[in-house]
Structures are given as C-alpha cells and as structure tokens.
Amino acid sequence: MPETPGLPAGLTTRPLRTTDATAVHRLMAAQELEDIGEVVIEEADIVSDWAKPSHDLGARSIGVWDGDTLVAYAELMGADRADTSVLPSHRGRGIGAWLARWLQDLGRRVGSSVVGMPVPQGSPGDRLLEELGFRVRWTSWVLRLPEGATIPERDLPEGYAIRTAGPDDARAAHDVLEDAFLEWSVREREPYEDFAAATFGRPGFEPWNLRVAVDGAGQVVGVSLVLVSDNGATGYVDRLAVRADQRGRGIAQALLVDSFAQARAHGTTTSELSTDSRTGALGLYQRVGMQTESVWVNRAIDLL
C-alpha cells in the first residue's frame, strides 16, 4: 500500500474488507476504553452492519495502517451516517482531521447533504470535530439497568401478549420499527433485506432476540430487538417501537421489561440501551429503573 498524501509519513491506506472486522473492532474498543472507560462495541455489530446488501464497504470505507496495525478508519453508511476511530496512541498527528475531510469528500461524491458521526461528549473526537466546524445534531444517552435490580412488572392491555417473533412476523416487525423511527429520523426507509441481514444474519442471533407485542387479533403492534453481548453478561435492547395508534397504553414499558427478563433468563446480569434527544423516550427508560452510563453527541457538517 502506498503512503497517502496528507497523512504522517509511514502510514498507508486502503478500503476496508469484510476480513478487517476483527481489526476494526480492536481499534474501536481501544478508543472506547480510552474515552468512556469501557468497551461497548461488539464485533457482531460491525459484521451485521457490513452484511447489509445496500452497503458497499469497498467504496465507502478507508483504513489507515501503520505497518500491519490498523490505527484509524472511517466509513459512510447510507446518506449521512459516518463512523470513525483513531487509535489513542496515534492521536494528535492529524489523522482524525484527514478522515473528516475524506468523509466530506465522499459525502459530496455520493450526493449527501450532510455527514455526521457519534462521539463521546467532551472526548478528543468531540473537541476535534467542533474545531472543524461540525455542529451537534442530537445528544444520545447509554442507559443501564443496574446489576441485581428488580425488574418491574408492567401489564398489557386485555387480550394483548408478548412473544418471540415467528417467521410470519418478520416483515410486520420491520414495518413497525421503520414507521416509528422515521417519525423523527431523516433518512430513506431501510430495505427489509438490510434489516433481515443485520438481524437474523447477525452472529449469535437466536429467535428469542426478536420480541413482538400482538393485539387480540394477532397483529404486531410493538417490537423489541434484544441482543446478548459476546461475554454473555449484558442484554442490549437494540430497537424498541410501538405502532403509533397503540401508544399510551403501556406497551412500550411492557416490551422493555420483557426484554430485561428474557435477557436475564438467558444468563445476563444487566441490560443496556441507547436513546437520543430526537425520540423523547429518555423518561420511559428512567421510569423502569435505568441509569445513564455515558453521554454521546452526534456531530455533523453540512456539505451543500
């Protein structure tokens, strides 16, 4: 790999390949440990994102190497979702600024009007992006149900039930999730094929991970996707949504505590999730006993 102009001498670049998932996970884990004191990224998160048919990894990613070590990377998924990491030992050398410029150039080439990325609030990445003119689009909170906490009980409306999603529920579950998330998320509708690849094709996925709330007629009115961490200790509620006409009836809280209980029944000791200021759902999670573990901001820059 040739050296790349604008980067420190000795560093080389190339697009990422699916075989780089372990190296990217190692890089992101080192950055998270430095910035927030714990590792929350799972290699399965990376693998499932890269499995989406709509994502062209080779055309939308770049890795930076120091010899055989991946020391930084960036990628753009969809119109505006970027992810970057720089190894803590290689900070302060202009690599992060170079990646930010690379992402903006890529965004313009593919027709994006804005590019943004999540960073821990107050971290070196947050401060760098602020200096580069990236504004805060929204704030996110990672919340945790403390280990040993009593899982509260929440009742469903009469005739409703929560169960493991069956094969015939998959498309309805996707519709409920997308309809809800697109109420506040400015993006294209996620193709079902992307959802299926990232969910059912995720390493370690088991049928019980996808929970659905159904009404008396068996129609899917709510969905929770709860995953288990690689070490088996944490249940992560990756997505939670209730159909608009069914809200205000306690279904979301019932799905949430069901997810906690199912994760605990499968050996976890705590549960986590992430929410952001666009959803207005922070209070929902606090009411079932979850506590804030870390705060992130999504910083973005307009391209047009």
* Sheet (strand 291-302) strand order: 11-14, 61-66, 69-77, 81-86, 114-120, 291-302, 135-145, 270-276, 234-242, 220-228, 210-214, 161-164
The percent of residues in the chain predicted with pLDDT above 70, rounded, is 99
Instruction: List % helix, strand, coil for the chain (3-state, nearest 5).
Output: 35, 30, 35
Which residues face 162 on adjacent strands? 213
**What is the DSSP pairing of strand 234-242 with strand 11-14?**
unpaired
Q: Does residue 129 share a domain with residue 41?
A: yes
Q: Is residue 301 part of a domain?
A: no
Q: Does residue 162 share a domain with residue 103?
A: no
- Compute the average pLDDT of residues 192-206: 96
pLDDT surpassing 80 at residue 87: yes
Q: Is residue 58 part of a domain?
A: yes
CA distance 125 to 74: 13
Per-residue pLDDT tens for 91-149? 999 999 999 999 999 999 999 999 999 999 999 999 999 999 999 999 999 999 999 99
User: In terms of Cα–Cα distance, which of 83, 98, 106 is closest to 21?
Assistant: 83
Which of 123, 139, 155 is where one domain is finished? Answer: 139
Per-residue pLDDT tens for 134-159? 999 999 999 999 999 999 899 999 99
Can you give the CATH number for the domain in which 229 is found? 3.40.630.30
Q: Is residue 277 part of a domain?
A: yes
Q: Is residue 3 part of a domain?
A: no
Domain encompassing residue 162: 147-288
Residue 93 φ/ψ, nearest 5 degrees: -115, 10
What band does 186 get if pLDDT is binned at 50, 70 and 90?
A: confident
Q: Does residue 163 share a domain with residue 131?
A: no
Q: Is residue 218 part of a domain?
A: yes
Which of 86, 109, 139 is where one domain is finished? Answer: 139
CA distance 277 to 254: 22
Alpha helices by DSSP H, listed for the chain, are 21-36, 43-50, 95-110, 124-131, 170-181, 192-199, 251-265, 282-287
Q: Is residue 1 part of a domain?
A: no
pLDDT surpassing 90 at residue 5: no
The total number of structural domains in the chain stands at 2
